[in-house]
Amino acid sequence: MMTTTIIYTIISLCAIGIASAVILYFVAQKFKVEEDPRIDTVESILPGANCGGCGKPGCRGFAEATVKATSLDGLFCPVGGAETMTKVAVALGMEVTAQTPQIAVVRCNGTCDHRQRTSQYDGYKSCAIEHSLYRGETDCTFGCLGCGDCVTACPFDAIHMDENGLPVVSEEKCVACGACVKACPRNIIELRNKGVKDRRVFVCCVNKDKGNIARKACTAACIGCGKCVKECPFEAITLENNLAYIDFRKCRLCRKCVSVCPTHAIHEVNFPPRKITEPADQLKTATN
């Protein structure tokens, strides 16, 4: 009798299991979400860094965005660059517009020689925390705090702190993902076009204080004198809130602004050394 009961129980459980499996199968088929197989194809083309530099939640999110889009305009993978985007375009049967390569630029030159330390931070080593607590260790409330949040945020080991306590970007490793830009609470890091032959001209300062206050806090600060604005023949420089800014889309790299800046706040990168021109009387004496 007991054996028969056990057999009936086993049969009943098996029947319930089979019925449940059949029901679950039909429910899954009824409510399943069809996914475009091209998403997997595009994801396999992407570098898999999942850095978020494209503005999407990882490479999978970027792949879904490209498949759903009618055009690739505004969609760009900074890690893979133009080569990867060309492959994505071919896989989707679309055209891709070439984008100018960019690089992270640190707009602060507040070294120890330029900024005197007026206090000492004795808390957790974090720019975000230090920025939220007080003005910083110097009188410049806009410059780099030197704790290295940008270094920690970079997934490509493309940024390091130098001996002056300022972040330095590696041109070979930086992919312009923007992670360091988001990590900096002082907004001193910016993505700019690499420029012709990797040459760039930019104002290496974000201090918006008036000239005398900014100069007192840092001898390399922009004092908002406007000389660079007047000198630029391409109207690429604007002056707002006591701070000059060079629009890299308008700048023609003539470097005239560099020469007139009284505090040397405008930096030129990857240019050949300037030719030293001697006065005419010295040339005449040398010739004789």
Q: Are 161 and 219 members of one domain?
A: yes
Same domain, 237 and 265: yes
Same domain, 117 and 223: yes
One domain, residues 87 and 114: no
CATH number at residue 180: 3.30.70.20
Structure tokens at 141: 């409330």
pTM for the whole structure = 0.76
111 shares its domain with 167: yes
Q: Are residue 135 and residue 210 in the same domain, yes or no?
A: yes
- Number of domains the chain is built from: 2
pLDDT range class, residue 2, cuts 50, 70, 90: low
Q: How far is CA 270 from the centre of its chain?
A: 20
- Binding residue positions: 51, 54, 59, 77, 140, 144, 147, 150, 154, 174, 177, 180, 184
DSSP per residue, 69-131:
-S--TT---TTTHHHHHHHHHHHHT--------EEEEE-----TTTS-B-S---S-S-HHHHH
> What mean pLDDT is predicted for residues 82-90?
91
Does residue 207 sit in the same domain as residue 84? no
| Stretch 103-111: mean pLDDT | 95
pLDDT of 277 higher than 60:
no
Is residue 155 situated within a structural domain?
yes
> 167 and 61: one domain?
no
Least confident stretch, 90-99, 107-116, 150-159, 200-209: 90-99
Listed residue (148, 162, 261) closest to 203, CA to CA: 261
What is the rounded distance in angstroms from the CA atom of residue 143 to the CA atom of residue 207?
Answer: 7
Q: Do 50 and 165 fall within a single domain? A: no
Q: Which two tokens stand for residue 38?
A: 């091209």
Rounded distance between C-alpha atoms, residue 85 and residue 276, angstroms: 44
Angle made by CA atoms 179, 182, 185, in degrees to the nearest 5: 135
Does the pLDDT at position 190 exceed 60?
Answer: yes
Tell me the binding residues for [4Fe-4S] cluster. 51, 54, 59, 77, 140, 144, 147, 150, 154, 174, 177, 180, 184
Distance between CA atoms of 163 and 250, rounded to whole angstroms?
Answer: 34
Domain limits for position 46: 37-92
Do 159 and 46 have their domain in common?
no
**108-136 pLDDT per residue, tens:** 999 988 998 898 888 899 999 999 988 88
- Return the biggest CA–CA distance within the chain: 130
Domain CATH number, residue 71: 1.10.15.40
Element of type H or E holding 165: none
If asked whether residues 56 and 125 sit together in one domain, one would say no
32, amino acid identity: K
Tell me whether residue 280 is in a domain: no
